[in-house]
A and B are shown apart, each in its own frame.
Chain A
């Protein structure tokens, strides 16, 4: 039982650490000018398309 408690404590500690990081960087320091916003939007779209293609490839590999 003790080992589960220990693992639970480590996991909880890590989650808290991640939350702390999220809080620390919650407000991006870079001013979100229209150029920055457009660049980040383009990046999101690019990554979505790429991930979509990766998933498609994965499915076609698994499908006989």
Chain B
């Protein structure tokens, strides 16, 4: 009888914990899954096609890396109740504040264009014209924010996160060899030696895992959601679960293209979908749906990251809990970024490839600054109080930030000067 009572109370305790987690979960899962945006899907697809399963171990390492960077924004947001843009203005003054805000505006807008490229090329596979995709996406994203509740927006975004898992059944459909995946992918190795091309692929995977908009987005969404200091452990769990799913999805994309497209040149995810459809119709369809969903999730988060940042700094009402008449400038910024970036994709002969490459370079100017500010703010006793970084957190986060800065800079420079690594291809 005693064990039945204990089991009952244990299940009640777990049930309560799961309900609490589901109430608090959101920003971490959304930002992490959205991290696998249209550009990310292309990178993973190209990585699998080029190196089969050999770089899966690297993605497994990137999971904790993404977690440690993003959990810092949870703590900073929950303690200061400020978004990252406002925290930079407040902590470092107007020079660094304007630099970050304007840079964020450029990076986000350009990245939004790449998300629209991903979405239009994905739906083009199903015969949907680009203008209809852009119109549909703008209407859908308008509907998501105009209902006037952060909660509704978040749950809709999480539904789109669930669609992102479509790559998993897609991978099972191509019957990959599990023993081969284990043999090639789990133990760290550099297929064909540590060449310039391999280094470029590693850098591209890091570049897609940590992006500047993620820092701004998660901190602002933590504030908008109203997470308190007491919620930080749940916020961290939310981020950890998100990191797990982002790596899981990336690995399954690599498994799909590594199994079916190994040895073939993949330049973008839509092309990979078409190639997959030649032999595995439904896997190709899933890849296209996943690409559209990835672009949509990216667009949802990136457009909000910008408008939240502007709202914080300019003092506008900037919550998704505000109606449009209560926060007109916040919604204007949101729709302006969304519509203008969508229209760029519709311009005949627009330099879309150049824009895609340019994003990688411009992101390199913002990412190191945003990461350094994050570390410095988390080490400020006046700002963080008892939640200040511990020595151990500084060692981990400091090392991660140093490596990310070095590799993302190398990635940006290689994009600018492809001959640096003796190759010219881009994943």
Contact = CB atoms under 8 A, between A and B. Distances in A.
B413 A53 contact: yes
Contact of A27 (B93, B96, B314, B383): B93
B92 A28 contact: yes
B212 to A, nearest CB: 14
A47 B369 contact: yes
Interface string B49-93: 000000000000000000000000000000000000000011111
A40 B377 CA distance: 12
Contact size class for B?
Answer: 20 to 34
Interface string B353-385: 000000001001100110010001100101100
A36 B409 CA distance: 21
B417 A57 contact: yes
A15 interface: no
B93 A26 contact: yes
A20 B409 CA distance: 35
Interface string A21-64: 11001111111000010011001001100110110010000000
A53 B416 contact: yes
Contacts of A47: 99, 365, 369
Chain A interface residue number, banded: 20 to 34
A54 B416 contact: yes
A50 B365 contact: yes
Contact of B368 (A26, A36, A43): A43
A21 B88 CA distance: 13
A30 B380 contact: yes
A21 B93 contact: no
A23 B317 CA distance: 20
Interface in B85-121: 89-94, 96-97, 99
Given A43-B369, A53-B416, A30 B314 contact: no
Which residue of A25, A39, A46, A50 has the most chain B CB atoms within 10 A of its CB atom?
A25
Nearest to B416: A57
B383 A30 contact: yes
Nearest to A42: B372
Contacts of A51: 365
Interface of B: 89-94, 96-97, 99, 313-315, 361, 364-365, 368-369, 372, 376-377, 380, 382-383, 409, 412-413, 416-417
A-B CB proximity, top 3 nearest: A28-B93, A30-B91, A25-B89
13 contacts: A21-B89, A22-B94, A25-B93, A25-B97, A26-B94, A28-B92, A29-B90, A29-B91, A30-B377, A36-B376, A46-B409, A53-B416, A57-B417
